């Protein structure tokens, strides 16, 4: 009896372990199968017009001169936190700057909301928010007025996970708004089919992905939806509620940071999320093309991001949206990212360190933007940004 | 794991020593009692600080408006107006309750079965290894369970859930609760992970309850010719009902407070209640973990403290109730 | 004895009469035994599934580089390791242990050796504290400490110490109660002060059991993530050994990397998860073995 029992027990345990072992290996292959990576079949594509646009040669190494120069006595380490939209480029800049100047820049990718909160509480030397700070937010900052310095141009792209469907699906702002409002719930909805004739869209429910944290990427995306989709605005209850760092998302799965949204998209079949383009490209996720104000469907790439500043008048604070550009060949969902720096610094070392870093970013650093799929600032905006840097003072005296 | 009864084991001769030794004795005693006081201060401090941090929001919106709405929309908050309260928390209570109930619905029968197996069916030499092995489930950290849940559990759940949505989901009436689509992260997934996490505690308590069934009643049943299962059904289980109930309540209390594993697999949809158990949601603990460090809207941080306060109250009530039920069972048996 | 009587049940057939009903009952008994065994097997299988899956994924990336390097600045990049998290965990949990163990042992001494109303209240409150969700403890420490002194490893240690405290008290109190009263009486009969008795006689007798309790509390603290999100905040960039600054811990790094969509970050997170499980399991099993060697009754 006892021997029989132990035999049964041992057998049961053995089967259990074997099942666990087999289960785990098949699950590993399962998870990669549900990723957005598409091998081969690219029955969609961006089209020849976009191919011409995106292969056009654009000057990605503007070689701006650093007119401020290096200020002596800068801190050896400066800390910053904020936008995940800009995080890949910050890490590129930080490693290049550390090689060039020996200074460590520690940047925490916590979202624009977190960056604004951090600079308000003065727990970091600089913050970063893709849509800057509102006057109310600036007045809540402990250290006085905050300068907003644009550093890059980037695109927010609709990224999806559809087995067998390649990159290049066409979207319009109103269709995207209806999807995010929960009105369009299936990939084979007639509205999507009309935009993409000849693509056999599967009958799969759309798993909408959005941000769960305070996000400048969200602000750019919802600004675009507010401009283009009346359905989105009415579902959210008005233009004040339908755009912002956070909104009351009617449907969808929440992810933390661009990183988290890319996780939801790559792990969920049928997902649709909005991501900064480097996140989509570096993870080999499939993204689509979006109709701009002139009615053209544009692929997000550096030549279509750069014209977003054409015809834009920047206010004195430099804080403005760049969506729905007027150029006929511009990608419509473009944004920048603003470094948030106190105008009146208390420490000379920190002030010098900040000015040195950002003047480097605005000159040599701009040549690195394209390596992570951002566009460099145009010369007009670059000069405005440098002018902001010059406003930094310590004890009343300008640093630069 | 009962609380130590406050039985002093001090010998009767204490305190009759003279001179400097009395001083060191008294100093030592004071230090020990001070440490005990710190423990009391910690609990009191938790309650006090939660209330004072939540107070601005409670005063601005009123205590009950938080419970009156299931719409959590920090972007709607304005510093001036108090109506309507954009920080409705009902959906978080719903999420906490639903995931914990799903967890207990799965864990309780399994725990009873495992405890019965260990105490009554398994040979004596297997008892300790088996119970130690089940206890190992409690050692695995929450973040590892969440990580495993995303990549190992979710793909395994897909066929199960697809079956459930195609059968139960089509039934009129309750079908709404089982409707698709299923995107992997959901209340249900969180419930399954919770079931695994609370299983060891519920099993341990059930084991203790079964072990303390009086042997003479079991032997009487067997002597009358019952099979082992009949003996269990007649002599062990009926007497253990309140013990099992206590175990269930304590397991529920543990499930209510679980944060990280749930956050990783529940989908983080905070706006309002999702009717299907296969839909996304949020719990009281998960919304605090997600939104705390960047709650910059007016009254956002304070409202998260309101959520924390409610979580504390509910968890304490459930845990104390469970302890009372389990203790009463022990007293019966003794 | 006030035990309630057995509920009389009318069996379907008189016991022992009739082959078919007897064999039916035996069949049902066997079926239930098999069912219980299957449920037991499934439970063990789930445990094995979790451990094997984490091990399989973690071993793909685990290596010496993992323990000595910090993560790359861009989490999408491959390479790097969790050196800052491991060091951070050791520091934060270490300080938490230094805080909670003396206070916990002292409080247990107060409960067991001195008794009284304060001790009874402490005993009750200890049990209540076990039920406080760890995220709530984190919120408390945020309001108490972080609002004044900022995010820091020290704040995280305070939160973890609060979580460890009831576990240390319970474990110590159980051990103290097991020390025979005769030992205390003999010591006091020899004229030794109460304080000296406790410190030199009772505590050493309970030493191994107290160590067990502390090890289990440390294992619990190593695995905690939620309260650290609100107090230590994490630092995924460089090694920070100064507890007055924001620090990383192993659990925070795993959490941060696990929820990204980057394969490279997830690979690091799996290696981290494997490391964390190994640390916790080693502590857990060692504690159990020490406890068993003393032949203590532990349920």
Whether the CB of A25 is below 8 Å from some CB of chain B: the reply is no
pLDDT top residue among A167 and B81: A167
Whether the CB of B267 is below 8 Å from some CB of chain A: the reply is yes
CA distance A250 to chain B (A): 7
Q: List CB contacts of B263: < 8 A, sequence separation 6 or more.
A: B146, B285, B286, B289, B290
What is the DSSP pairing of strand A289-291 with strand A170-171? parallel
Mean pLDDT on B291-301: 86
User: Would you say the ipTM is above 0.95?
Assistant: no
Chain C hits for A285, Cβ within 8 Å: 261
Nearest CB among A9, A114, A207 relative to B293 is that of A114
Res B98: pLDDT? 96
Res C242: pLDDT? 87
Res C94: pLDDT? 96
Beta carbon pairs, A and B, within 8 Å: 96
Mean pLDDT on C207-220: 92
Q: Mark yes or no for CB contact A16/C48 under 8 Å.
A: yes
* Mean predicted lDDT score pLDDT of chain C: 88
pLDDT top residue among A26 and C87: C87
- Report DSSP state, residue C113: I
Q: Mark yes or no for CB contact A12/C74 under 8 Å.
A: no
Do A153 and A306 contact (CB within 8 A), yes or no?
A: yes
Whether the CB of B294 is below 8 Å from some CB of chain A: the reply is yes
Mean pLDDT on B106-120: 96
Residue A183: Cβ within 10 Å count: 17
> Is the predicted pLDDT of residue C9 greater than 70, yes or no?
no
- CA C185 to each of CA B43, C192, C193: distance values in angstroms, whole numbers, following the listed order: 35, 10, 11
Task: State the pLDDT confidence band at C298, using cuts at 50, 70 and 90.
Answer: very low
Beta carbon pairs, A and C, within 8 Å: 92
Res B325: pLDDT? 87
Q: 3-state DSSP helix/strand/coil percent for chain A, to nearest 5?
A: 40, 20, 40
Nearest CB among C46, C236, C261 relative to A262 is that of C261
Backbone angles phi, psi at C263, to 5 degrees: -60, -40
Nearest CB among B196, B293, B305 relative to C233 is that of B293
Number of helices (H), then strands (E), in chain B: 13, 0
Which pTM does this prediction carry?
0.89
Q: How far apart are CA A216 and CA C175, in angstroms?
A: 56
Closest CA to A356 of A62, A90, A105: A105
Q: Which chains touch B (3 or more CB pairs under 8 A)?
A: A, C
Backbone angles phi, psi at C224, to 5 degrees: -75, 140
Do A98 and A105 contact (CB within 8 A), yes or no?
A: yes
Whether the CB of B2 is below 8 Å from some CB of chain A: the reply is no
Span B152-165, pLDDT tens digits: 999 999 999 999 99
Residues with pLDDT less than 50, chain A = 1, 3-4, 7, 19-42
Chain A hits for C56, Cβ within 8 Å: 24-25, 28
Q: Mark yes or no for CB contact B294/A252 under 8 Å.
A: no
How is residue B140 written in tokens?
Answer: 């695995």
Distance of CA A291 to the CA centre of its chain: 19
Q: Mark yes or no for CB contact A249/B269 under 8 Å.
A: yes
Q: Mark yes or no for CB contact A23/C74 under 8 Å.
A: no
Res A26: pLDDT? 36
Q: How many residues does chain B have?
A: 334
């Amino acid at each position: 009896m006892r021997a029989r029992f132990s035999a049964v027990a041992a057998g049961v345990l053995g089967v259990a372990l074997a099942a666990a072992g087999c289960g785990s290996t098949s699950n590993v292959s399962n998870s990669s199968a549900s990723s957005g990576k598409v091998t081969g079949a690219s029955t969609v594509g961006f089209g020849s017009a976009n191919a011409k646009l995106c292969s056009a040669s654009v000057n990605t190494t503007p070689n701006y001169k650093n007119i401020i120069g290096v200020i002596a006595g800068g801190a050896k380490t400066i800390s910053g936190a904020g936008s995940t939209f800009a995080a890949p480029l910050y890490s590129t800049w930080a490693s290049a700057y550390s090689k060039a100047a020996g200074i460590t820049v520690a940047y925490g990718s916590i979202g624009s909301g977190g960056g604004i909160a951090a600079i308000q509480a003065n727990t970091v030397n600089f913050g970063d928010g893709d849509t800057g700070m509102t006057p109310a937010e600036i007045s809540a900052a402990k250290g006085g007025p905050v300068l907003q310095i644009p550093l890059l141009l980037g695109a927010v792209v609709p990224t999806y996970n559809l087995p067998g469907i390649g990159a290049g699906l066409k979207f319009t702002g109103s269709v995207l708004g209806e999807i995010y409002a929960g009105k369009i719930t299936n990939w084979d909805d007639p509205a999507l089919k009309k935009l993409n004739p000849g693509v056999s869209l599967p009958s799969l429910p759309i798993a909408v992905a959005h941000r769960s944290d305070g996000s400048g990427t969200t602000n750019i995306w919802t600004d675009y939806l507010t401009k283009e989709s009346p359905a989105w605005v009415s579902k959210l209850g008005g233009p004040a509620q339908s755009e912002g760092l956070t909104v009351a998302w009617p449907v969808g799965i929440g992810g933390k940071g661009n990183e988290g949204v890319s996780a939801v998209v790559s792990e969920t079949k049928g997902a649709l999320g909005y991501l900064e383009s480097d996140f989509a490209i570096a993870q080999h996720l499939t993204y689509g093309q979006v109709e701009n104000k002139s009615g053209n469907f544009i692929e997000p790439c550096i030549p279509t991001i750069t014209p977003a500043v054409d015809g834009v008048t920047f206010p004195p604070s430099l804080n403005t949206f760049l969506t729905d550009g007027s150029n006929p060949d511009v990608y419509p969902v473009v944004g920048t990212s603003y470094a948030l720096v106190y105008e009146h610094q208390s420490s000379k070392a920190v002030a010098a360190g900040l000015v040195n870093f950002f003047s480097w970013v605005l000159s040599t650093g701009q040549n690195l933007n394209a390596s992570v799929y951002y566009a460099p600032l145009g010369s007009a905006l670059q000069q405005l940004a440098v002018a902001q840097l010059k406003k930094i003072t310590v004890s009343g005296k300008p640093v630069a | 794991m009962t609380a130590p009864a406050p039985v002093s084991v001090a010998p009767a001769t204490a305190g009759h020593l003279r001179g400097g030794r009395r001083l060191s004795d008294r100093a030592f005693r004071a230090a020990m009692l001070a440490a005990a006081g710190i423990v009391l201060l910690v609990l009191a401090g938790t309650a006090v600080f939660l209330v004072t941090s939540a107070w601005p929001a409670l005063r601005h919106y009123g205590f009950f408006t938080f419970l009156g709405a299931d719409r959590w929309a920090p972007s709607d908050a304005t510093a001036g107006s108090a109506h309507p309260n954009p920080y409705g928390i009902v959906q978080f209570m719903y999420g906490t309750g639903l995931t914990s109930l799903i967890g207990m619905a799965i864990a309780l029968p399994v725990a009873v079965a495992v405890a019965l197996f260990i105490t009554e069916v398994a040979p004596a030499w297997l008892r300790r290894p088996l119970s130690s092995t089940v206890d190992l489930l409690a050692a695995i950290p929450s973040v590892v369970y969440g990580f495993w849940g995303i990549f190992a559990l979710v793909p395994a759940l897909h066929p199960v859930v697809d079956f459930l949505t195609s059968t139960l989901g089509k039934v009129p009436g309750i079908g709404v609760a089982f409707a698709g689509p299923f995107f992997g992260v959901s209340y249900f997934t969180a419930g399954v992970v919770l079931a695994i996490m609370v299983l060891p505690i519920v099993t341990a308590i059930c084991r203790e309850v079964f072990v303390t069934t009086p042997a003479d009643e079991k032997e009487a049943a067997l002597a009358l010719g019952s099979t082992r299962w009949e003996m269990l059904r007649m002599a062990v289980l009926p007497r253990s009902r309140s013990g099992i109930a206590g175990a269930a309540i304590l397991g529920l209390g543990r499930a209510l407070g679980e944060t990280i594993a749930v956050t990783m697999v529940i989908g983080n949809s905070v706006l309002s209640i999702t009717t299907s158990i296969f839909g996304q949601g949020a719990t009281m603990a998960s919304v605090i973990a997600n939104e705390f460090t960047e709650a910059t809207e007016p009254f956002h941080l304070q409202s998260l403290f309101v959520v924390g306060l409610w979580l504390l109250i509910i968890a304490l009530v459930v845990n104390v109730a469970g302890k009372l039920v389990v203790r009463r069972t022990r007293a019966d048996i003794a | 004895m006030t035990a309630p009587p057995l509920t009389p049940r009318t069996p379907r057939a008189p016991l022992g009469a009739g082959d078919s009903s007897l064999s039916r009952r035996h069949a049902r008994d066997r079926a239930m035994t098999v069912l219980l065994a299957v449920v037991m097997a499934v439970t063990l299988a789930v445990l094995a599934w979790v451990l094997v899956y984490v091990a399989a994924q973690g071993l793909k990336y685990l290596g010496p580089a993992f323990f000595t390097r910090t993560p790359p600045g861009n989490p999408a990049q491959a390479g790097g390791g969790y050196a800052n998290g491991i060091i951070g965990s050791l520091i934060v949990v270490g300080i938490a242990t230094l805080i909670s163990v003396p206070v916990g042992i002292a409080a247990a001494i107060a409960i067991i050796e001195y008794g009284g109303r304060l001790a009874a209240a402490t005993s009750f409150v200890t049990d209540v504290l076990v039920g406080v969700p760890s995220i709530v403890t984190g919120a408390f420490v945020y309001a108490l400490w972080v609002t004044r002194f900022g995010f820091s490893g020290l704040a995280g240690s305070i939160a973890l110490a609060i979580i460890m405290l009831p576990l240390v008290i319970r474990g110590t109190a159980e051990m103290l109660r097991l020390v025979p009263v005769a030992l205390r009486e003999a010591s006091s009969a020899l004229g030794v002060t109460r304080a000296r008795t406790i410190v030199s006689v009772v505590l050493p007798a309970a030493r191994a059991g107290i160590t067990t309790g502390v090890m289990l509390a440390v294992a619990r603290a190593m695995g905690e993530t939620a309260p650290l999100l609100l107090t230590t905040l994490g630092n995924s960039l460089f090694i920070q050994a100064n507890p007055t600054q924001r620090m990383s811990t192993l659990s925070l790094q795993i959490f941060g990397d696990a929820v990204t969509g980057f394969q490279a970050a997830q690979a690091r997170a799996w290696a981290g998860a494997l490391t964390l499980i190994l640390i916790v399991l080693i502590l857990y099993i060692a504690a159990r073995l020490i406890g068993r060697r003393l032949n203590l009754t532990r349920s």
